[in-house]
Amino acid sequence: MYRSIKMRYFYRLLCILCLCTSQANAQQNIVIKAENLSLRQVVKQVEAQVDYTFLYDEQRISLNKRISLDVHGNLHSVLKAIERVALVELQLSGKHILMKPTRVGVLSGRVIDEQGVALQSVSVYLPSMDQRFITGEDGEFRFQYLAAKKRQEILIVSLLGRQEQRLNVELSPGERQLDDVTLPILSMGLEEIAVAPTTDQRLESNSSIYINREVILQSGALSLNDLLNLVPGKKIEAPSLQRVQQANLRTANYATSSAASRDAFALNNSFGVALIMDGVAISNNANMQTRNAGMTGMENANVFGGVSGLKGGGNSPGNYSGDYAFGGLDLRQITTDNIESVEIVAGVASARYGDLTDGAIIINRMAGSSPLHFQMQLRDNATVYGLNKGFQTKKFGGISFGANFTRSFEDNRDKLKAYNRWGGNAMWTIAGGRERAFTNTLAVDYNRNLDNVLQDPDDPTGTFVRFRTYNFSVSNRSNYRIDHGFISNIGLNMRYGQSYQNTYKEQLMNGTFVIYSDATEVGVAKGVYGPGTYTSVSHIEGKPIDFTARVDLTGHYYTGDVSHQLQFGANYNYSKNNGAGQIVDPSRPNSLSSAATAGNRSARYYDYTQIRAQQQLGLYVEDVFQIAVADRPLHVRTGARMDFFERFVTISPRANIRYELHPNWRLGLAYGFSSKAPALAQLYPGPVYYEIPLFQYTAVTETGAVDAANSLYLLHVDKYVPTNNALKPTKSQQLEFSAIYASEGFRLAMNIYDKRSYNGISTFRRFEVTTLDQYKTNPDPTAEVPYVIEGTENHRLTRNEFVNGNKSWNQGIEVLLSTPKWSPIQTVFNIRGGLTYTKAQPLQVMQDFTNPGTDAGYAVTGVYDARVRNTVVSNAALTTSTHIPKARLLVNFTAEFNILNKTNTRASDGIPTGYYTERGEFVTIPAFDPQNSQYRHLLQTQESLNNQNQPGVYSNFHLNLSKDISERLTVAFNVYNVFNYRPQYLRSDNTLIIPNSKPTYGAQVRLRL
């Protein structure tokens, strides 16, 4: 027994000694110096300094690979250094070091110009890793990634002013050095240039449309809105800045431009299109440039002014507004001077993007070294000057500056309607850290937009209207690339924006007298008599503030041999308006707020600074991976996001799946939900005041003038504060099928979609009846009080409240077809087209009428069934692009076809189901009697409801020519409606419609110094 105990302690002591010896070897200081040595030689250096031997399979590992290494330290740190440079995995096992191939791959290369000189500040982006590399002086880039097996991905190499390169690269284990990537200067002399937007299912969505810098330059765009002409199914419009421009995607609803009544469905659609610039969303949530929607309803709440003059037509008197509340941003404010690319996502967007229901427009801008670019565009209605210059510094990265000035008139002969825009921006991009892993882009933007309607000197009743918007923003985009571990990239995007918005309208009022009141307490008040000749003023001042931050993390992991790219993060948005608000001078009322007018709704001062801020928080996660199904790649992008707004939480799952059925065929399927929070103007429209006339006695002097001192006007003030705290985010869901065929230069892309939107926001109108004392003239003219109270009288009060109730269904098909260049005529053919069917169902339908007599039972507001509006729109365009590189010439000729524009309603939609009288009494109509004199005027014929129907197919033709005069000078010329083809037809309501505008001409000069 004693002997067994001694042996037990002996073995324990032996184990401890072995462990100590192993630990001593591990802690031993090892020095490895290798300059372009083989891996075999480095292995021998290690073995010579430690009591370990390497085990490996030479059929799987190349020991002749050359590496450079200078490291000293313990065994653990030395092995990690060898792993990093040799791309192997090393593991201690007893007295052996096991070496096996790693799953790490390296993709590297160099970017050069036409002369072979390395280019600095080039953006090299690997979307599959969400990693970006900014090249240094040597023009080199390097990506390290996890790779279990080979896969094909896309690499985007771009620099402002040079032709973007989109390369198909193979990501596989090991190291791969690409051939030098050449970025030539954009020129008509290049052998191949982009002439049309493209689709690529490796973008943010299966159906995304990508517009690069070459296509932007050829478009002659005055603003971002002009690029939407390239979306399939869109009607082509000549560049102009004389109306509000908001993006509408995949809908056949009416426009949101500048008409006197803006369609609620179109406003909801444009409000749901997110605008993302440099990775950060730009919000219109804090825009409150609107009259009180509780008085007018959402569709009529803008400040409108008359447009008259020599031109006529385009904007009929009294229907122009430059405000854009309740909808998306006004795209006139965004120039295309330094935009590198635009991606239009009309389908299911990535889960990283929130606060949207109808797609996104993703704008990428760049900073870097570039020559001085000067451009001038002269159009029949606009003059544009632009200047851009980029600098490259040795220590502080690339800096670029840009400036733009635009002057535009509705009619150059009278210049009554004008839109002026000027602004500038500066961008600074820097990269640093180990292997330039950290990149940062800082952007500062400022622009002023002046939209004026001057008073016609020949029209004393005309109005002067001014819409001003000054925008300032600072944004920063940071990325940190990590080559090892689960996390491969960390991104932080932030933007602070502040605007000054001022809407001002004045109109001469000429009357005998005016009665006004500034009372804000509920009850009977005395009105004030004032002179009837004055200038009425409508004035709104807003100061929106918007702060947005987003954190994105990208990680990689494996399930078996399947590589997953996991993206997750969070976003935060803060919106506030610190403007003075609706500034009202009670002594100068307009026609709406006058105390003695019909409707009797009166405006009061409304301070926007008292409105609390809106805050939103979102979280998202998205997994991107590729698996093999029937030996063909299946690409999956699936994820979900959770958005928090007030007390509401919305969860939006999204998925984009594409399958490479054949090397030439790719099929895609996408499905997703999305939501959009209400705007501040919808949450807090402000209190509504009613001034109900009770008694009026107007005394006059011997000269016939109003004797204000002896006159009396009594009114009852009613105050109503809408409570919209139950307003929920709007929601949408979309199912989409896509297909792409590409073979021998032919490329066909087709998308079929079904999009459903619900909880759409609009104003719901209801009526309340209040009973007040009835004031009558005192029959005793000598009495001290000129009135007596006899009985009571009912009064109808209108209540407009924001509610969730509108629904719409949008279905359609989009087609893009391009052909290879036909060599005999050096021409490429591009076809794009689409058909959109929209079914819109409002929550209610009412129509107001005027009582021509004194019948108290006369119907003044008709109530109809919530009619479903079915609209079908179809447009197509064929473009021939003739490019002759030797002549440095490009000619684009477009034949446009407006195929269908039709609205269908039921015959019963125009038959009222009931009506309201002036006193607020509701009367049901069980069976409509066309002979009933009290309500027969409510009938609306089907022809009047379907009055936008287009009787046939109409065409239009456009020409664009670009020519390089020299390597530094390019001239371009474009004409919309080049043949002055202007067909016309009569609508069912006898309105003459001319679908094609008259020809508009533009010339552009681009100079590179």
Q: What is the average pLDDT value for the chain, to the nearest integer?
A: 87
888, 857 in Cβ contact below 8 A?
Answer: no
893-921 pLDDT, tens digit each: 999 999 999 888 777 888 999 999 988 89
Tokens found for residue 557: 């992991």
pLDDT range class, residue 3, cuts 50, 70, 90: very low
SS3 content of the chain, % helix, strand, coil (to 5): 10, 50, 35
Structure confidence at residue 990 (pLDDT): 76
With 90 as the cut, is the pLDDT of residue 704 above it?
no
CA proximity to 797, closest of 599, 603, 602, 604: 599
Cβ count within 10 A of residue 506: 18
- Quickly list DSSP for 47-100: HHHSS-EEE--TTTS-TT-EEEEEEEE-HHHHHHHHHHHHTEEEEEETTEEEEE
Whole-model pTM: value is 0.88
660-702 pLDDT, tens digit each: 998 899 999 999 999 999 999 999 999 998 888 899 988 888 8
Query: CA 519, CA 714: separation in Å to the nearest integer?
Result: 12
Structure confidence at residue 255 (pLDDT): 58
CA proximity to 762, closest of 706, 800, 814, 809: 800
293, 763 in Cβ contact below 8 A?
Answer: yes
Query: CA 736, CA 347: separation in Å to the nearest integer?
Result: 7
Tokens found for residue 432: 């640093």
Mean pLDDT over 513-535 rounds to 88
Strongest mean pLDDT among 112-126, 878-892, 979-993? 878-892
Structure confidence at residue 533 (pLDDT): 85
Residues contacting residue 277 through CB under 8 Å, at least 6 positions apart: 334, 363, 365, 475
49 burial via Cβ count (<10 Å: 0-12, 13-18, 19+):
middle
Tokens found for residue 27: 């802690």
Give the three-state DSSP class for 230: helix
Residues contacting residue 983 through CB under 8 Å, at least 6 positions apart: 954, 994, 995, 996
With 50 as the cut, is the pLDDT of residue 595 above it?
no
248, 267 in Cβ contact below 8 A?
Answer: no
146, 103 in Cβ contact below 8 A?
Answer: yes
Structure confidence at residue 295 (pLDDT): 86
pLDDT range class, residue 310, cuts 50, 70, 90: low
Does residue 413 or residue 149 have the better pLDDT? 413
Among 377-381, 569-573, 586-590, which is the least confidently predicted range? 586-590
Mean pLDDT over 48-54 rounds to 89
Structure confidence at residue 530 (pLDDT): 86
Mean pLDDT over 27-45 rounds to 86
What are residue 896's DSSP bridge partners?
Answer: 877, 956
213-269 pLDDT, tens digit each: 889 988 889 999 999 999 999 999 999 999 999 999 999 876 555 455 688 999 999
Query: CA 92, CA 80: separation in Å to the nearest integer?
Result: 12
pLDDT range class, residue 304, cuts 50, 70, 90: confident
Residues contacting residue 938 through CB under 8 Å, at least 6 positions apart: 847, 849, 859, 862, 912, 915
Structure confidence at residue 316 (pLDDT): 45
With 80 as the cut, is the pLDDT of residue 991 above it?
no
Structure confidence at residue 23 (pLDDT): 47
Structure confidence at residue 2 (pLDDT): 45
82-127 pLDDT, tens digit each: 887 777 888 888 888 988 877 677 888 999 999 999 988 888 988 8
Structure confidence at residue 574 (pLDDT): 97
Structure confidence at residue 447 (pLDDT): 95
Tokens found for residue 548: 């947005």
Instruction: Report the percentage of the chain scoring pLDDT > 90.
Output: 50
Tokens found for residue 291: 């009259």
919-945 pLDDT, tens digit each: 889 999 999 999 999 999 999 887 777
Residues contacting residue 229 through CB under 8 Å, at least 6 positions apart: 219, 236, 237
Does residue 143 or residue 84 have the better pLDDT? 143
543 burial via Cβ count (<10 Å: 0-12, 13-18, 19+):
buried
Structure confidence at residue 670 (pLDDT): 96
Structure confidence at residue 365 (pLDDT): 86
Mean pLDDT over 817-832 rounds to 92
With 90 as the cut, is the pLDDT of residue 390 above it?
no
Structure confidence at residue 593 (pLDDT): 46
N-terminal to C-terminal alpha carbon distance within the chain: 99
- Quickly list DSSP for 582-635: EE--TTS--TTT-TTSTT-EE---B-GGGSPPEEEEEEEEEEEEEEEETTEEEE
Calculate the CA dihedral of residues 170, 171, 175, 176 and round it to 10 degrees: 20
Mean pLDDT over 545-568 rounds to 89
721-776 pLDDT, tens digit each: 888 888 999 999 999 999 999 998 899 999 999 999 999 999 999 999 999 999 99
334-361 pLDDT, tens digit each: 999 889 899 999 999 999 999 999 999 9
Mean pLDDT over 68-80 rounds to 87
Mean pLDDT over 804-818 rounds to 95
CA dihedral sign, ordered 178, 180, 186, 189: negative
193-224 pLDDT, tens digit each: 888 888 875 677 889 999 998 899 888 899 99
Structure confidence at residue 709 (pLDDT): 86
> How far lies 305's CA from each of 267, 291, 504, 901, 944, in Å?
20, 13, 10, 29, 26
Structure confidence at residue 8 (pLDDT): 56
Mean pLDDT over 999-1005 rounds to 93
Structure confidence at residue 258 (pLDDT): 46
Residues contacting residue 352 through CB under 8 Å, at least 6 positions apart: 550, 552, 567, 569, 620, 622, 641
With 60 as the cut, is the pLDDT of residue 420 above it?
yes
489, 554 in Cβ contact below 8 A?
Answer: yes
Mean pLDDT over 401-405 rounds to 94
Structure confidence at residue 168 (pLDDT): 85
Mean pLDDT over 561-570 rounds to 88
437, 427 in Cβ contact below 8 A?
Answer: no
With 60 as the cut, is the pLDDT of residue 289 above it?
yes
Structure confidence at residue 739 (pLDDT): 94
Query: CA 109, CA 958: separation in Å to the nearest integer?
Result: 42
371 phi/psi in degrees, rounded to 5: -65, 170
